[in-house]
Amino acid sequence: MNGFIGKAKGAAARNASMTPEERKAHAQKMAHARKEKALLPVATHTGVITIGTLEIPCYVTKDGARVLSGRGMQEALRLVDEEPPSSGQKSGSRMDRFLGTKSLKSLIYKGREADHFKPIKLRFQSQAINGFRAEILPEICEAMLEARDLGMLDTPRKQIIAKQCDILMRGFARVGIIALVDEATGYQKDRARDALAKILEAYVAKELRPWVNTFPTEYYEHLFRIYEIPFPPEGKPQWRPQFFGTITNDVIYDRLAPELLPELKKAASKAEKKAKLHQWLTSEFGHPKLREHLVSIVTLLKLSHSPEEFKSLVDRVHPRFGDTILLDF
């Protein structure tokens, strides 16, 4: 609160010292700055990457760009100007000046476009952030370590930076830089949800498709066989034991895509009772994948002599999503 009061007093004193024209120009400048900030990409996730004693603030934008804080990168690389920038030297951050170092430029850029290393501005809540693409940090580290191998580190500061790059690369070797950002910001949870939503969108149709004969006769014939039930059922050629539905949900729909069965059931609950789950699969993707999967399941049925053997084969060849594959040693 005291800091806020101090700022308010400072602003009031500054305004009092300005002419009306200067106050107007200042107000226009501030309004323009606010407008520019409002147009910046928004960071939806934020966190801190920790590598040993190093901490680098990181962000993920709405479109999935991973960004590291420019100040955090400078501190991680131990970028310090060995001499104050001269009047003729290019202005900008220490990172800008480092990326423009003539002796290192060819190793850092290596045919990449200049825009690849362009600073990124974004907004998190009311704060404007200056940063860089996350992937350029390991690229800089690789370049510095190559420069060290080539004997190109001609100043103590460059040697310090190379030592920092060695530390960073060891950290990156344990976990990729993108994974580090996603974990630190919590983005991996939303990324997984987004990926799942796209999978389900590809599989599940918006409207009920017309019924077509999808499950081959062999599928039921061999299910009857391993359960030692006469096929076809005498006097009821279309009859199927009720528990066959549970088996089908297990070996077919639960193995086609993650969370597919609940989504199909949700769609089916809104439609007529006689509608089959496969009628809610998309014709361009879901239905072809179902037919492909059925061919494999029928093959496993043919190889099975009992329900237990069939279940074991299905678990091995088509494990449920998230299950660990059992290996027979």
Q: What is the pLDDT of residues 42-81, one digit of tens each?
A: 888 898 888 878 889 999 988 888 999 999 999 999 987 5
Question: From residue 270, how far is each of 207, 283, 316 by CA, in Å?
Answer: 10, 19, 34
Residue 29 lies in a domain: no
252: which DSSP letter?
I
**Phi/psi of residue 56, each to 5°?**
-125, 115
Residue 31 lies in a domain: no
**pLDDT tens digits, one per residue of 191-228:** 767 766 677 777 777 777 777 788 989 999 999 999 99
> Is the pLDDT reported for residue 11 higher than 80?
no
Q: Which pair of structure tokens corresponds to residue 156?
A: 């103590």
Q: Is the pTM of this model over 0.75?
A: no
Residue 34 lies in a domain: no
> Cβ atoms within 10 A of the Cβ of 322, count?
6
Asked if residue 53 and residue 138 are part of one domain, the reply reads: yes
Higher pLDDT, 87 or 254: 254
Asked if residue 199 and residue 119 are part of one domain, the reply reads: no
Asked if residue 261 and residue 165 are part of one domain, the reply reads: no
Residue 26 lies in a domain: no
Residue 24 lies in a domain: no
Please name every residue paired with 68 in a beta bridge, in sequence order, or none if there are none: 58, 132
Asked if residue 143 and residue 230 are part of one domain, the reply reads: no
Asked if residue 199 and residue 280 are part of one domain, the reply reads: yes
Helical (H) or strand (E) element with 13: helix 2-17
Asked if residue 218 and residue 302 are part of one domain, the reply reads: yes
**Residue where a domain terminates, one of 150, 185, 220:** 185
Rounded Cα gap, residues 157 and 151, in angstroms: 14
Number of compact structural domains in the chain: 2
Asked if residue 172 and residue 107 are part of one domain, the reply reads: yes
Asked if residue 237 and residue 202 are part of one domain, the reply reads: yes
**Helix 187-203 × helix 177-185 angle, to 10°:** 100
Higher pLDDT, 244 or 64: 244
Residue 179 lies in a domain: yes
**Residue where a domain terminates, one of 185, 209, 233:** 185
Rounded Cα gap, residues 57 and 50, in angstroms: 9
Asked if residue 137 and residue 55 are part of one domain, the reply reads: yes
Asked if residue 294 and residue 273 are part of one domain, the reply reads: yes
Residue-level pLDDT at 3:
47
Asked if residue 291 and residue 261 are part of one domain, the reply reads: yes
Asked if residue 204 and residue 171 are part of one domain, the reply reads: no
Residue 325 lies in a domain: no
Q: Which of 220-224, 227-231, 269-273, 291-295 has the lowest mean pLDDT?
A: 269-273
Q: Could you list the residue range(s) of the whole structural domain that residue 170 is in?
A: 43-84+91-185
**Residue where a domain terminates, one of 133, 152, 185:** 185
> In this prediction, what percent of the chain has a pLDDT beyond 70?
81
Rounded Cα gap, residues 148 and 277, in angstroms: 62
